[in-house]
Chains A and B, each alone.
Chain A
Amino acid sequence: MSKMTVGLISSAHVHADSYVEILKSCDAFHFIGVWDDDQNRGKRFCNLHGVDYFDRFEDLISTCECVVVTSENVKHKEHIIKCAGKVKGILCEKPLAPTIDDAQKMIEVCAKQGTNLCTAFPVRFHPVSKRVKEIVVSKELGEIKMIISTNRGKVPPGWFTSPELSGGGAIMDHVVHVVDFLRWSTGKEFRTVRTSLGRQINKGLQVEDCAILELKLEEIPVTLDCSWGMPVSYPYWGEVKIRLILEKGVIEADVFSQNIVFRSNESHHEEWINYGDNADEVMLLSFADFIRYGTDFPTAKDGLEATRVVEKAYESVKLNREVVIHGEER
């Protein structure tokens, strides 16, 4: 099996570092290089990871069968449209887009140009997530009655806190992971959302950093805490925790908790080192399989549905009431 050629469009997103290390060393891909609309940033990134930088977008895209797009949220549309028709597949960093309109436009252009557009949702590729879905689908514990979830983290660096580049704060950054996991594991759609903002945790940010969403996943009440509330000294980047209350029992998942603890003589706080299977790696290998064999992978439609929840969550803040995501207004 020959390797699939792949390029990286923009190194803006923090996940680009993890992706490029996997893409350049795994069997499925032949990594071609990086193009970035910020040349300095792109060159720095390439130096750090020992990969090639391309000055011209066309030079990169013409040698790639697929690309991974890790630009700032609001630039996804421009970059996806630029790539559409030139590659077989695009894996776009989450959220697919900051607005439903952007997401729909991207989907439309890619469909017309015959390019497969996918969304990077690594959480569903973690073995803990797979097991949770298995148990839920088996119906061994009956129907789900309620879901309590948290995807909290530290404040991300750089453009994430500039609304003109990110499109929003903690809600924009963190809601889509758990939303996608729950849609995927239950096969259900979200109906309504009501967002409560808390007091700002990190002073001086231009975007929200403390929010809890109340959702209805069909009839199931769900809460989702997406805050950037982890202190600097927290030993890990954050958490994805999901508690499912079912008819006959409770499932508790702490997805990124397979950790050993490191304490350094040079720092006053501990560090957790994860030893679990690498969800990013499984996701990227599955993306290659999807492009080659059409096997299951989160599509742009899944990205759009997650973005729909995000946009409605912001609408709920603005209107200060529950907002319908799918279905009739009550």
Chain B
Amino acid sequence: MVKVGLIGAGFIGQVHARSLSKLSEASLEMVYDINVKSSQRIAKEYKARVADSFETIIKRCDAIVLAVPTDVRHTYLEKAFKTGKPILCEKPLARTVEEGEWILRNVKSTHCIFTVGHVVRFFPEYVNIRNQVLKGKVGDVCEVRSFRGGPLPDWSSWFKSFKRSGGSILDLAIHDIDFWIWVLGKVKKVSARSLDRSENITKDHCYVLLSFENGALAHIEATWAYPPNSPFRTSVELTGSKGSISFNSTDFSPLSVHIEEKSFTESPAYLDPYAKMMKSFVNSVIKNSEPEVTVEDAFRSLEIACLALKSAQKESECLVEGKV
């Protein structure tokens, strides 16, 4: 049984706690958050203990899930790296390429098991799309478009600070950047625009245009521009030489339940994508094997996302590896 400690008891921390509760091979041992009430709530719901400090978690647990805001990972990671314990770090890997490089260096020198929460790689629709491409169903992939988003997150205020979250490009579009790199390989050029890079984002929308070395183009759209209570949606359109593949999260509804004031829709699975990701992490801890999503993968995606930020700031195209 892998005893997992959770640092960060916000929105995504809660999701990770729920995932752990679904696995028989791991348990949530302790929770820490700078907001004691948040950690108490999760600890109560999932029968874990509240840790008095994050150092206690690092000391006592077998593995660490780090679900704190993007810009403050450094402090926690510095101490965690000293123990060499396995870490699942939320995405994006870091707020800047420099911070990302620091993490990459430390993972390599400590040889710790380190994975990043690029959960889209565990969504069955995305996995299936990738498999169709790999087995040649659509031929050569020429152009892809993807969409992700809905309203501005209302569960925490740090998203609204561009300095902290990196806005819709670094927090949201990074999912699709990572996915398309996973499918299509190396990126050659990046061009992006975004609406709001202020310290008080009220609505943001971005596009990130990637040119891949294999010739494919990817148009990625991510948004926090929809009115509150709009649904979160994702879609993919992929055009290849032999045909196309599309997916839209609102096209099919496997299960919808209509109850007064609390209707909901669901796409049931034996293990939801977050639980699958946690299972994959726990497996690599048990087997002491390389995680499915490596620190290099996450770093590559971070580099491209940061290049997109630069492109949006400069309002010009950026070549990968400084060939500008």
Contact = CB atoms under 8 A, between A and B. Distances in A.
Interface of A: 127-128, 130-132, 135, 140-141, 248-255, 257-266, 273, 275-277, 282
Contact of B255 (A253, A260, A263, A264): A253
B102 to A, nearest CB: 37
Contacts of A253: 254-255
A271 B208 CA distance: 29
Nearest to B265: A252
Most buried by A among B253, B256, B257: B257
A121 B263 CA distance: 30
Nearest to A248: B259
B129 interface: yes
A254 B127 CA distance: 21
Contact of B254 (A135, A254, A264, A273): A254
Contacts of B255: 128, 131-132, 251-254
B243 A260 contact: no
Main secondary structure, interface of B, reads mixed
A262 B243 contact: yes
Contact of A252 (B124, B256, B270): B256
B252 A257 contact: yes
B244 interface: yes
A265 B242 contact: yes
A127 B270 contact: yes
Contact of A131 (B137, B242, B252, B268): B268
Nearest to A271: B243
A277 B269 CA distance: 6
B46 interface: no
Contact of A255 (B137, B254, B270): B254
Contacts of A141: 257, 259
Instruction: List 10 tightest A-B contacts by C-beta distance, closest first.
Output: A275-B128, A249-B259, A264-B243, A127-B268, A257-B252, A275-B124, A260-B247, A131-B268, A250-B258, A261-B246
Interface in B222-272: 236, 241-247, 251-260, 263, 266-270
Contacts of B125: 258, 260, 275
A248 B124 CA distance: 32
Contacts of B244: 262-263
Contacts of B53: none
B269 to A, nearest CB: 5
26 contacts: A128-B255, A132-B255, A140-B259, A141-B257, A141-B259, A249-B257, A249-B259, A249-B263, A250-B257, A250-B258, A251-B258, A253-B255, A254-B252, A254-B255, A257-B253, A258-B125, A258-B254, A258-B267, A260-B132, A260-B245, A261-B246, A263-B243, A265-B241, A273-B132, A275-B127, A277-B124
A260 B267 contact: no
Contacts of A276: 124, 254, 267, 269
A131 B266 contact: yes
A279 to B, nearest CB: 10
B128 A130 contact: no
Contacts of A259: 252
Contacts of B270: 127, 277, 282
Contact of A258 (B124, B243, B257): B124
A234 to B, nearest CB: 15
A131 to B, nearest CB: 4
A248 B236 CA distance: 36
Nearest to B236: A260
Interface string B292-304: 0000000000000
Nearest to B253: A254
A312 B253 CA distance: 33
Contacts of A255: 254
Interface in B123-138: 124-125, 127-129, 132, 137-138
Nearest to A262: B245
A10 B221 CA distance: 51
Nearest to A246: B259
Given A258-B252, A261-B246, 9 more contacts: A130-B268, A250-B258, A253-B255, A254-B253, A254-B254, A254-B255, A258-B124, A262-B132, A264-B242
Contacts of A264: 242-243
A130 B243 CA distance: 35
B255 to A, nearest CB: 5
Contacts of B132: 260, 262, 273
Contacts of A140: 259
Interface centre among A248, A249, A260 (most CB of B within 10 A): A260
Contacts of B245: 260-263, 273
Contacts of A263: 243-246
A266 B241 CA distance: 11
Given A249-B258, A282-B270, A261 B247 contact: yes
Contacts of A273: 128, 132, 245
A277 B273 CA distance: 12
